[in-house]
Amino acid sequence: MTYVITEACADSKDAACWEACPADAIHPGPQEASFREHAQLYIDPAACIDCSACEPVCPVEAIYPEEDVPEASQDSIAANRDFFATRTA
Ligand code: SF4
């Protein structure tokens, strides 16, 4: 199981989740060169330790446990996974 950032993040890109994550599982962070290139932040399913620290700090409620992702946002599960499949840095 992992947590997933849905497309609602794109309205905000607040990055409070990035600050809260103890596992460095959320990218791109505001310190990363590619932060402005991407519409939202994503969670690396291979790095997430399922601690839930990110979920309550998101100001737009964009983060869900994978099994609770709303039907309309199911594409976000693959979007998070695929972001890290192609990421080089
Ligand atoms: Fe990071 Fe925990 Fe959120 Fe996973 S659940 S992305 S480890 S803060």
Q: How far apart are CA 71 and CA 52, in angstroms?
A: 20
Burial class (CB in 10 A: 0-12, 13-18, 19+), 27: buried
Say if CB 60 and CB 17 are below 8 A apart.
Answer: no
Which carries the bigger pLDDT value, residue 83 or residue 11? 83
pLDDT in tens, 47-86: 999 999 999 999 999 999 999 999 999 999 999 999 999 8
Q: What is the pTM of this model?
A: 0.95
pLDDT band at 88 (very low <50, low <70, confident <90, very high): low
Instruction: Fold for 3-88, please state it.
Output: Alpha-Beta Plaits (3.30.70)
Q: Is 53 in the pocket of ligand 1 (CB under 6 A)?
A: yes
Which atom of ligand 1 lies at the shortest distance from residue 44's CA?
6
Domain boundaries, the chain: 3-88
Residue of minimum CA distance from atom 3 in ligand 1: 54
Which atom of ligand 1 lies at the shortest distance from residue 53's CA?
8
